[in-house]
Amino acid sequence: KIRVETTSLNTNGHAKVARDSGWHQPTDPLMIVTSDFHLRRSRHEFARFFSNLRMVGSDPIITDDSFGDVSLRSLIPQVDSLSDSTIYLREYVALALSDLRN
């Protein structure tokens, strides 16, 4: 079954709702689908309550190795890159805070 948990506000909450919902036993196979950059923290949180996890990244492939679109614009730094860096930094901080919670 596919279940979408929408009541929690953070990753730790998602794991707790899954544990408390009665949908899954701790040893049931459980697949978590989330953004690629969020996989590590999700595994960390869900592994507290479940032992049979499979993590799947949901991000599309954004890298083009063909060099077919090389242009002057492709050489200029884009704001999106800063946004991605900020998201990754936030994930590392959240993972560190998750470790402190133990």
Q: What is the pLDDT of residues 23-66, one digit of tens each?
A: 899 999 999 988 887 888 899 999 999 999 999 888 765 444 44
Predicted structure pTM score: 0.65
Cα(82)–Cα(84) distance, integer angstroms: 5
Amino acid at 36: D
Cα(36)–Cα(49) distance, integer angstroms: 21
Q: What is the pLDDT of residue 70?
A: 55
End-to-end CA, the chain = 30
Question: Tokens 């998201």 map to which residue?
Answer: 87
Question: Tokens 């730094």 map to which residue?
Answer: 77
